Amino acid sequence: MKIIVAEHFGICFGVRDAIAQAQALAQEAPLTILGELVHNPIVREQLRAQGVREQASGDVAQTSRVMITAHGASDKRRDALSKSGLVFADGTCPLVRYAHQQLKRLVHAGYFPVVIGLANHVEVRGLVGDFADAFVINESADIRNLPVRSRYGIISQTTQSIDRVRALLAEIARAYPSAEIRFADTVCKPTKDRQLALKKIDQGGGGNRRRWRSAEQQHTSFSRNLSRRGQASIAHRTS
């Protein structure tokens, strides 16, 4: 049996840094993560063993200090945390932070905010949380419900397939030919690298298996079979 390992795989730097941050904070005082810090069950179990708690949406924090995950949060959410008296640490990935900045820039320039991604994903909820009229597009069927505006400012969830994002952009342009569309590419480089690595493997194998998975699904798959190499990398970064 031949096993082919992709050139790029596993946990990205933003999540690795957030894990390291959570481990360091947990050594100082009790810590509650606002949601899942990472979708990797092995890493989550390691964090629980170190005393790190997880708080589901709507639950009351179990500690006085909490941490925002690498997926980020809206400014409205941050303000609410501050007013609640909780001390919060920020584990937002720099590339997610960039997506927030780009959406704000587009809105301030007068564009109607549109995010390509999964509406119920924590990252997307954070992106649109400060813009009540923001519209989320996940598939072609959503485009017909997009409010008619003269200018659209579009970004995407950082873990979307860039090919899929570009295809939806083309559909939006065809559906609203008179509108001005400005797109800020916020698909992160680690995601693009993994997607390109998968394409190279598929092309090298000569197969017709074109069932591309989103980067979020890739994380889930890798989490089930986390390699020793990945575990050693985490341990090295957090030691």
- Cα 125–198–16 angle (5° rounding)? 50
Question: Do 81 and 111 sit in the same domain of this protein?
Answer: no
What span, in angstroms and rounded, lies between the C-alpha atoms of 141 and 80?
34
Catalytic, out of 123, 139, 171, 216: 123
pLDDT in tens, 52-87: 998 876 566 778 889 999 999 999 999 998 898 888
Residue 170: domain span: 95-187
Q: Is residue 6 part of a domain?
A: no
Amino acid at 129: G
The more confident residue out of 29 and 215 is 29
Q: How far apart are CA 49 and CA 61, in angstroms?
A: 18
Asked whether residue 5 is domain-assigned, the answer is: no
Please report, for the chain, how many H helices and E strands are present, in that order.
Answer: 10, 8
CA separation for the pair 129, 24 (Å, rounded): 29
For the record, the structure tokens of 158 come out as 């950082």
Give the CATH number, domain containing residue 167.
Answer: 3.40.1010.20
Domain match, 88 and 19 both: yes
The pTM assigned to this predicted structure is: 0.77
The reply to whether 180 belongs to the active site is no
**pLDDT of res. 61:** 74
